[in-house]
Structure 1
Amino acid sequence: MPHVNGPFHRRLVPARPDLAAAHLRGRVAAERFAPGRPARVAPSLLDLTLDPNPTGERATQLLHGEVFVVYEERPDGLVWGQAQLDGYVGYVARDGLGPQRGAGRPVTAIWSQSYQRPSVQARVLGELPLLADVPVSGSTSGFARLRDGGHVPLPHLTPSAGDPVAQALRFVGAPYLWGGRSIRGIDCSGLVQIAHLACGVALPRDTDMQVELAGAPLPPDAALARGDLVFWRGHVALMIDGQTLIHANAHHMAVAVERLADVEERVLAARGGPVTARRRP
Structure 2
Amino acid sequence: MKLVTRAALGWPPSAAPLQSTTSGVKIHYEGTPVSTRLLTDHDACIAEWKAIRASHLANTAENYSDVAYNYAACPHGYLLEGRGIGRRTGANGNQELNRAHYAIVGLVGSSGLTEPTDAMLHAIRDGIELLRQNGAGPEIKGHRDGFATACPGGPLYAWVQRGAPRPGTTTPPPEQEDDMDPVDVWAYKGTGETRDAYWYQRDTNTLARQARDETRALAARVDDLETTGLTAAQAEQIAELVADKLAARLTD
TM-score of the pair, normalised by structure 2: 0.25
Query: Which of these two proteins has the greater Rg computed from alpha carbons?
Result: 2
Higher RCO (C-alpha 8 Å, min separation 6): 2
Specify which structure has the higher proportion of strand: 1
TM-score of the pair, normalised by structure 1: 0.23
